[in-house]
């Protein structure tokens, strides 16, 4: 029985590093290479395409041609892009907002300064938990 590759959820900051040299671009590129070789399956909310394109558009080193090429390349990576679902959004919004407000009085839009990880109850982690049965 052949095993499916492990699924990893990536966010826009990771995917942007595939197209511009930033801190930890080498680590981001290892994930991309593993995905391209079939060792990992990368997944993300479908909004990632717009977030990455926007981030690249604001990079002063990016030309229009670079932006078009990078966006095409992103789409060619065949990421598992997950469209929004009302039930998923409602559940993660309730969980995330409730947990963060209990902890610090605000929503959890920021990742941990210590390790860059999202809080366990946030949307990216909820997406990861939802893909664990794939």
pLDDT one-digit tens code per residue, 7-48: 999 999 999 999 999 999 999 999 999 999 999 999 999 999
pLDDT at site 44: 92
Confidence (pTM): 0.70
Helix (H, G, I), strand (E, B) or coil at 7: strand
pLDDT one-digit tens code per residue, 93-123: 666 655 554 555 444 554 444 444 444 445 5
Angle between helices 48-57 and 64-76 (to 10 degrees): 160
Q: Which residue did the predictor score with more confidence, 8 or 88? A: 8
Domains and CATH numbers, the chain: 6-82 (3.40.50.1010), 86-131 (no CATH)
């Amino acid at each position: 029985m052949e095993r499916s590759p492990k699924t990893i959820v990536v966010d826009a900051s990771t995917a942007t590093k595939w197209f511009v040299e930033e801190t930890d671009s080498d680590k981001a590129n290892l994930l991309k290479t593993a995905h391209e070789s079939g060792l990992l399956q990368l997944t993300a909310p479908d909004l990632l395409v717009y977030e990455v394109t926007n981030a690249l558009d604001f990079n002063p080193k990016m030309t229009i041609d670079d932006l078009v090429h990078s966006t095409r390349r992103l789409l060619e990576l065949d990421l598992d892009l997950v469209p929004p679902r009302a039930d998923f959004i409602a559940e993660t919004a309730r969980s995330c907002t409730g947990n963060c407000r209990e902890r610090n009085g605000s929503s959890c839009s920021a990742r941990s300064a210590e390790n860059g990880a999202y809080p366990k109850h946030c949307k990216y982690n909820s997406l990861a938990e939802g893909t664990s049965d794939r």
